[in-house]
């Protein structure tokens, strides 16, 4: 796929496949095209190429249609509905993400309750969103996406800004979601996340795939070290 903004190719001839049941990690420097790649999957119009999902093209489909086909996603900057409770926020995903049309309120709340339990927020379901910490707001973002009942979940830096303990907790959350049968594609800068849960790592640089393969192998690739990780990281992993 290719996506341009003016004369800049933010995604430049990227060929990527997520196999059923995988966790695929996408890494690379800022401005590499990682978020644009997810945006292409979830609704941006392409300037070239195609996106195939379950036998058909979804290139350029409206985001709500992509969601109803079974692709959920989160965003770097979380934007919950501030006037609603945690449960009501999660229920929004259940109401409007269904492949079978809008769900009724009772069913949506039941699905939202399950999603909150999965991400560890059920105890705060009646809390106002304003009372949540940043880590919990990220969990709510995941819960809202999970409540759409996706087959594929796109996670955009859900662990950014978290401390080590919070990252460990977020790792367990992703594992729990994946264990329900959801395929996961995640963008992440925390390398222990990539090594810890990903089946494959894909490195984007300047909108192109620089390397792809098993995380431990990719992170030792000299091209990846030079373009993204740096010698300081390389020395730590070699020692």
Say if residues 227 and 211 touch (Cβ distance below 8 Å): no
- Is 239 a residue whose pLDDT tops 60? no
pLDDT-above-70 percentage for the chain: 94
Average pLDDT of the residues in 139-151: 95
Residues with Cβ within 8 Å of residue 150, at least 6 apart in sequence: 67, 70, 71, 72, 97, 182
Interacting residues of 51 by C-beta distance below 8 A, sequence separation 6+? 1, 40, 41, 57, 58, 59
Beta strands across the sheet bearing 200-205: 71-73, 152-156, 183-187, 23-27, 200-205, 208-213
Q: What is the mean pLDDT of the chain?
A: 93
What does the pLDDT average to over 113-131? 96
Helix 134-146 with 164-178: angle, nearest 10 deg: 10
Distance CA 195, CA 219 (A): 9
Helix axes 86-96, 105-119, angle to 10 degrees: 120
User: d(Cα 229, Cα 218) in Å, to the nearest integer?
Assistant: 11
Q: Report whether pLDDT(100) > 80.
A: no
| Residues in CB range of 161: below 8 A, 6 or more apart | 134
- Distances in Å between the Cα of 69 and the Cα atoms of 79, 125, 137 are 23, 27, 25
- Specify the CATH superfamily of domain 1-48+151-239: P-loop containing nucleotide triphosphate hydrolases (3.40.50.300)
The alpha-helical segments, DSSP class H, found in 76-126 are 86-96, 105-119
Strand partners, 154: 73, 185
Q: Tell me the whole-structure pTM to 2 decimals.
A: 0.93
Tell me what the mean pLDDT of segment 178-190 comes to: 96
The residue ranges of every structural domain in the chain are 1-48+151-239, 77-149
β-partners of residue 185 are 24, 154
Mean pLDDT throughout 67-75? Answer: 94
Q: What is the pLDDT of residue 28?
A: 96
| CA–centroid distance for 154 within its chain | 3
């Amino acid at each position: 796929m290719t996506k341009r903004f003016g004369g800049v190719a933010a995604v430049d001839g990227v060929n990527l496949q997520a196999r059923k049941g995988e966790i695929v990690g996408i890494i690379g420097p800022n401005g590499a095209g990682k978020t644009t790649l997810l945006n292409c999957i979830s609704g941006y119009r392409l300037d070239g190429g195609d996106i195939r999902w379950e036998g058909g093209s979804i290139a350029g489909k409206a985001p709500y249609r992509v969601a109803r086909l079974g692709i959920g996603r989160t965003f770097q900057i979380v934007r919950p509905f501030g006037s609603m409770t945690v449960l009501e926020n999660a229920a929004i995903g259940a109401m409007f993400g269904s492949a079978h049309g809008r769900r009724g309120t009772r069913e949506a709340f039941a699905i939202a309750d399950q999603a909150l339990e999965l991400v560890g927020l059920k105890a705060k379901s009646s809390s106002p969103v304003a009372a949540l910490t940043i880590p919990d707001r990220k969990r709510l973002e995941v819960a809202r996406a999970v409540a759409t009942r996706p087959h594929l979940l796109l996670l955009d830096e859900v662990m950014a800004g978290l401390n080590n303990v919070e990252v460990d907790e977020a790792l367990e959350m992703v594992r729990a979601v994946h264990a329900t049968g959801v395929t996961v594609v995640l963008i992440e800068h925390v390398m222990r996340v990539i090594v810890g849960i990903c089946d494959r790592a894909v490195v984007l640089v300047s909108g192109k795939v620089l390397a792809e393969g098993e995380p431990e192998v990719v992170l030792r690739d000299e091209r990846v070290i030079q373009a993204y990780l740096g010698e300081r990281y390389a020395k730590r992993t070699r020692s």
